[in-house]
Each structure stands twice: as C-alpha cells, then as structure tokens.
Amino acid sequence: MRVYFSVLLLLISFSAFGQSSEISQIKTQREASNKALKARDDARHLDFLTEDVLITTGAGTLISGKANLDSYVKKASGPAMYWIRTPDEILVNPETQLAWETGTWKGYYFDQKDPVAQGNYSAQWTKKSGTWLIQSQLFVTLK
C-alpha cells in the first residue's frame, strides 16, 4: 500500500511540474506578444498566432486568419494603439495540447500613458506545432 501511495504521489508531482512548465511557456509567449505590440512590430506579433487564428475584437468584429488580421490592423483609422493582455488564469490540457487563458486587457495610444479602453479577454492556445500559439482570442470592451 505504501508503494502505491508513493507512486501516486510521484505521478502527481510530475503532472504538476508539467502543468507548471506549460503555463510558464504560455506566459512567456504572452509577454513577448505584448512587447511586440508595444514596439509596433506587427510581423513579430503575428508569429504568436496560428495561420487560421480567430479574433473577436473588443467591438465585436470577427477576424478569421492571420492575413486578414494583418490587413485589418493596417487599414484601421484613428490614432495607432497597442494592447497589453494580463492573464489571470491559464489552464492546460496536456493530452489535447490546448490551453485556456483568461484575463484583462488595456488599450493605449502610443503617445499616452493611461489606457483609453479596457476589458476582459479569453484565449485558446495550441501546441500542435511544438510551440504554444494563439488559436483564438475573444476581447470584450468593458470601459
């Protein structure tokens, strides 16, 4: 019986370490994505997305695909903005190589320090390519 509990404890420890490692990888990807947006490096920012990414903007516009998102951003009128996404929770399913992230976002004009828009977001990540990439994101503007 003691051996059974020891093996069970060992498996739980490996699982927890694996989850922690995957969550850390996603957080690193999110931070790098935020830095790319703030630096106006659109090409780098797109590297964090799958080709078939789905984005729902804070105003409810649905954008399908990396190329369409790039076009949407380039055609946007008004002052240039960037967004910072701050995760509150990340859950990983190692069997499906999918993850769920939820948190808050703030939008800034490049020439201002205070956010001009903010709200909540959720993201689905996939690691099918070997690297965690964003497969879909939903933004809701709440202020």
Q: pLDDT tens for residues 43-70?
A: 899 999 999 999 999 999 999 999 999 9
Amino acid occupying residue 33: S
**Angle at the Cα of 99 (from 94 to 33), degrees rounded to 5?**
125
| Residue 129 pLDDT > 60 | yes
Distant-in-sequence, close-in-space partners of 41: CB < 8 Å, separation ≥ 6: none
Pairing of strands 133-141, 98-109: unpaired
Q: What are phi and psi of 131, to 5 degrees?
A: -125, 140
Tens-digit pLDDT profile for residues 1-56: 666 655 444 444 444 445 789 999 999 999 999 999 999 998 899 999 999 999 99
What pLDDT was estimated at residue 83? 93
CA separation for the pair 70, 45 (Å, rounded): 10
pTM: 0.83
Q: Which two tokens stand for residue 96?
A: 């499906």
What pLDDT was estimated at residue 14? 43
What pLDDT was estimated at residue 3? 61
- SS3 for 108? strand
CA separation for the pair 15, 9 (Å, rounded): 10
Q: How confident is the model at residue 78 (pLDDT cuts 50, 70, 90)?
A: confident
What pLDDT was estimated at residue 80? 87
Longest CA–CA span in the chain (Å) reads 68
